[in-house]
Amino acid sequence: MADSTARTAHSTIHAGGEWREAVSGATRDILDPADATPFAVVAEGDEKDADLAVEAARRAFDGGAGAWPRTPVAERAALLHRVADLLVRDRDALGLLESRDAGKTVQEGRIDVDCVADAFRYFADLVAAEAPGRVVDAGTPDVHSVVVHEPVGVCALITPWNYPLLQASWKIAPALAAGNTFVIKPSEITPLTTVALVDLLLEAGLPAGVANIVTGPGHTVGARLAEHPDVDLVSFTGGLASGTEVARAAAPTVKKVALELGGKNPNVVFADACATDEGFDTAVDQALNAAFIHSGQVCSAGARLIVEESVRDRFVAELARRAQRIRLGRGTEPGVECGPLVSEQQRAKVEAYVASALQEGAVLRTGGRRPQGLEAGYFYEPTVLDGCHREMRVVREEVFGPVLTVETFRTEDEAVFLANDTEYGLAGGVWSGDLAKARRVAGRLRHGTVWINDFHPYLPQAEWGGFGRSGVGRELGPAGLAEYRETKHVYHNLAPKPVRWFAG
């Protein structure tokens, strides 16, 4: 990775071109979730550090002719491409760091780095190919009227702990492409790859003050960024409760707000998807992938299996058999398929949900406990809960762990009703051998992304976001770039004449 010898291990706050420690001198140990031992130390910033970072971002945005918003688009795009090249160069090191920080497997970490590089390249190409403005016909040759897009200003970017590097890129790349400056606050639990990404931005030649980072907790740093009068936009990815607080804090200054919140995502399997042995095996395999990748710590996880009654028994039996065989362990070890949960607090939350489900009548098919031999880390076995219904907490609330609930349906209308019976509306899947039915059902689902005969892939060209309480705003795609822009109408009268509205 980039040479960071200029900063000490505690200097993880960057403001105005300088790496430094927290104003208070406070630090935080970063724990390896595979064994609960500290392996890194970061600065624990607070409101004062947030203020300094915002001040630096404001100066970089409001500066003279050489300021980042007035940098030619071609130069901004070229810098984003350089960042992508650096990510490819450091792919192995970043993938390993993401694995140790977040608990995911090294393979997942490396795939994340690939996706991050793709995001930077996509937004570089998107902004470079744009027309300079949209001409509006004013009905007279004496008027030149054009609609142009300009950067919002200073952006506060607040990212979650489950995909720290990927989620940072979904915000940083379009923000920079549009000409903004930013302050990013990564999760205090998993900040390390975001710090490394800022290092790469600087190595690529980003001017001082454009990229700023404050490591620290959400209730101090995040809250201050959301309310700060010199922040023009706040983009938050995380839980519903925290997102609500961000929106409330941003309201008095009427800044732009983008919220990507939770999900309780249905994976609907029709019997005709299982009509052949290959179809059955594929649907089961993808149900495992939907629910258990990254130990279920995914906002789009297919945590609700909704399966047609005629194939339910066979499907759940095979699902449970295969879930039992998922290899748990440290993500850096060969052959490991699933790592630990990110923290003891997160594991306790998962355990509480499983306990409540069993009390409410769910049937445990597999899992539901801490695995033997991995007591040092925050591990929890992949869990399948059968016999679930819509009134259960585990069905209605986001667990964010390796827990899959099973519901059944008999008719297409019932399947659609169950899939839409959620306060969230982030993502969902439909499995069917009948293409017309699959598309019909997908069209009726109230979710921001619907996969047909697949689960989890995303495209940088396609917008990502949700309905209902899954948030407001969009990331990725042209709409993701638009989030970081304001629209201006420039009306130029080429032959001005007196109006004479008033006597005089």
Which residues are part of the catalytic machinery?
260, 299
149's tokens: 């897009």
For strands 134-136 and 143-151, give the pairing: antiparallel
CA distance linking residue 393 with residue 303, whole number of Å: 13
Helices (H) then strands (E): counts for the chain: 15, 20
Helix (H, G, I), strand (E, B) or coil at 406: strand
CA distance linking residue 174 with residue 179, whole number of Å: 9
Identify which of 271, 268, 272, 298 has the alpha carbon closest to the alpha carbon of residue 286.
268
16's tokens: 């105005």
152's tokens: 């919002």
Helix (H, G, I), strand (E, B) or coil at 43: strand
At position 32, the amino acid (one-letter code) is D
CA distance linking residue 482 with residue 235, whole number of Å: 13
Identify which of 76, 60, 9 has the alpha carbon closest to the alpha carbon of residue 212.
60
CA distance linking residue 187 with residue 44, whole number of Å: 11
Query: Quick check: 320 and 365 in contact, CB under 8 A?
Result: yes
Sheet holding 143-151, edge to edge: 134-136, 143-151, 485-493
Q: For the residues of 201-256, what is the DSSP string, one character each? A: HHHTTPPTTTEEE--S-IIIIIHHHHH-TT--EEEEES-HHHHHHHHHHHGGGT-E
Query: Quick check: 23 and 48 in contact, CB under 8 A?
Result: yes
CA distance linking residue 394 with residue 309, whole number of Å: 21
Q: For the residues of 370-389, what is the DSSP string, one character each? A: PPTT-TTTT----EEEES--
Which residues does residue 139 pair with via DSSP β-bridges, in sequence order? none
Helix (H, G, I), strand (E, B) or coil at 20: strand
Query: Quick check: 167 and 158 in contact, CB under 8 A?
Result: no
